[in-house]
Amino acid sequence: MGLREIKKERVRKAILETARDMFFTRGYDETTIEAIAQKAEVAVGTVYNYFDSKSTLILAITAEDTSKALGDKFHIPESGSGLDGIKVYVNSFMKNLSMYPKRLLRELMREAWRSETALSKGIINQDLTLLDALSRLLRELAGKHKLKPGTDIEHASLTIYGIITTAIMWYAADDERTSRQMLESLEIMLQILFRGLNPEGGDK
Amino acid sequence: MGLREIKKERVRKAILETARDMFFTRGYDETTIEAIAQKAEVAVGTVYNYFDSKSTLILAITAEDTSKALGDKFHIPESGSGLDGIKVYVNSFMKNLSMYPKRLLRELMREAWRSETALSKGIINQDLTLLDALSRLLRELAGKHKLKPGTDIEHASLTIYGIITTAIMWYAADDERTSRQMLESLEIMLQILFRGLNPEGGDK
DNA sequence: TTTTATTATTGAATATATTCATGTTTGGAG
DNA sequence: CTCCAAACATGAATATATTCAATAATAAAA
């Protein structure tokens, strides 16, 4: 790696860390690009050489966090129902989330919808990691006969994903709501999903 | 109503309709407040006398649509499962949504997260209508013994709400996805929810 | 009708993300 | 070592949401 590359890495990291710091303490809206540039000791234009936009910056920061949080730790307990398997997984995801100030979480939700084609970037993309992990998990559960046979795995993952997303959204939207409360209602919703809503208990 | 009131109504309506028009044709980001003001024949400042911000404008417009769409038409078919009841309801909600250009939908999702306390305004608020309607619906279904006894109605509504929201988000995020596809996968997800994921078919 | 107070309108001023023409640095070729 | 092209950095210029002090219109009082 030449000097040029090294410098580039250094500058990139400086911008990223500075931005992260300021976003977490002051919030996204209150942090101007100019302030970031100043603290990172580069020009405004330089920030834009490294990141297409302010929202790219925050997305880059959080994407890194997410992939770290989801990366390793998900073990399915040998005993226990499918629900237990999911819960273990979801917990580490949520623990990561609760590190974020709510304000920032909201600003993040907002910015995630910014990219012209949201699918390729934005929140959806970050969530592809989650969705993917979920479907791997479900497939594994199905293999262990812990899922109703014939279940459409892709859609089941998407359903769980939707439930998780909803829990997060309500958590983020309401300053009063604690992460414990979020986890509790998430658990109830997952229970409902596993039990089903039909009265007979069977297929119907 | 004095002249003042009448004028006020007229101006408000002019701004709203002009904005609606431009948002739908050019998109939110491409429509400047100045352009709206010009077309509505008022000054920029006047727009701000009526609406706190640009995002307030789009939210006002869509909130109106939503409440219209949800207002009346939801009949629960006498025969049929609980799932059928939900589907009828969800369909009119979705029909309304598919009137929006995707671009605008995305911009809307974004702006909905803007208000400082998202719960009191924003998307969550619009959705309170939906959520409320869902829980009334579920309560009615429970009364008719079309729901598994002992189900936590509030959380069940929230679960369905989450599934709907997810379907909408994926629809909005992906230009390729048709509203038919959205409805199809929504239906599958609801089916999964009603059947449950546990293998035994029962409570477990 | 004239005067006064309240309410509404106005557009220039402000703040900030983003662009871009210009200048500077770097790694390597001769 | 000198010079060149490519890569990088810079900050003034641009665009646009939002604010606000000044002006105008309206309703009520005299």
pLDDT per residue rounded down to tens, chain B (204 residues): 676 788 899 999 999 999 999 999 999 999 999 999 999 999 999 999 999 999 999 999 988 887 777 665 555 666 677 788 788 778 877 888 899 999 999 999 999 898 665 554 445 566 677 788 888 889 988 998 989 999 999 999 999 999 998 999 889 988 899 999 999 999 999 999 999 988 774 443
Mutant choice from B103, B198, B204 vs A, greatest count of A C-beta within 10 A: B198
Q: Are residues A113 and B109, on separate chains, in Cβ contact within 8 Å? A: yes
Q: Are residues A192 and B193, on separate chains, in Cβ contact within 8 Å? A: yes
**pTM greater than the 0.75 cutoff:** yes
Name the one residue in this structure whose structure tokens are 């909905």. Answer: B112
Q: Are residues B203 and A188, on separate chains, in Cβ contact within 8 Å? A: no
Nearest CA to CA, how far is B58 from chain A (Å)? 15
Task: Convert the pLDDT of each residue in B46-89 to its tens digit.
Answer: 999 999 999 999 999 988 887 777 665 555 666 677 788 788 77
Q: How many CB pairs under 8 A join A and B?
A: 168
Tell me which chain B residues have a C-beta less than 8 angstroms from the C-beta of A119: 173-175
Q: Are residues B148 and A199, on separate chains, in Cβ contact within 8 Å? A: yes
Which pLDDT score is estimated for A116?
Answer: 64
Tell me which chain B residues have a C-beta less than 8 angstroms from the C-beta of A192: 151-152, 155-156, 159, 193
Q: Are residues B203 and A189, on separate chains, in Cβ contact within 8 Å? A: no
Tell me which chain A residues have a C-beta less than 8 angstroms from the C-beta of B159: 163, 166, 189, 192-193
Q: Is residue B77 within 8 Å of residue B84, measured between CB atoms? A: yes
The strand C neighbours among A residues 30-59, by Cβ under 7 Å, are 31-34, 44-45, 48, 52-55
For chain A, the DSSP string reads: --HHHHHHHHHHHHHHHHHHHHHHHH-STT--HHHHHHHHTS-HHHHHHH-SSHHHHHHHHHHHHHHHHHHS-----SSS-HHHHHHHHHHHHHHHHTTS-HHHHHHHHHHHTTSSSTTTSHHHHHHHHHHHHHHHHHHHHHHTT-S-TT--HHHHHHHHHHHHHHHHHHHHH-TT--HHHHHHHHHHHHHHHHH-S-TTSS--
Within chain B, where are the H helices? 3-26, 33-40, 44-50, 54-71, 82-97, 102-112, 122-143, 153-173, 179-195
Q: What is the biggest distance separating any 2 CA atoms in chain A, rounded to whole angstroms?
A: 69
Which pLDDT score is estimated for A204?
Answer: 39
How far is residue B150 CA from its own chain's centroid? 29
Residue in B106, B148, B203 closest to A197 by CB? B148
Which pLDDT score is estimated for B120?
Answer: 47
Nearest CA to CA, how far is A193 from chain B (Å)? 5
Which pLDDT score is estimated for B38?
Answer: 97
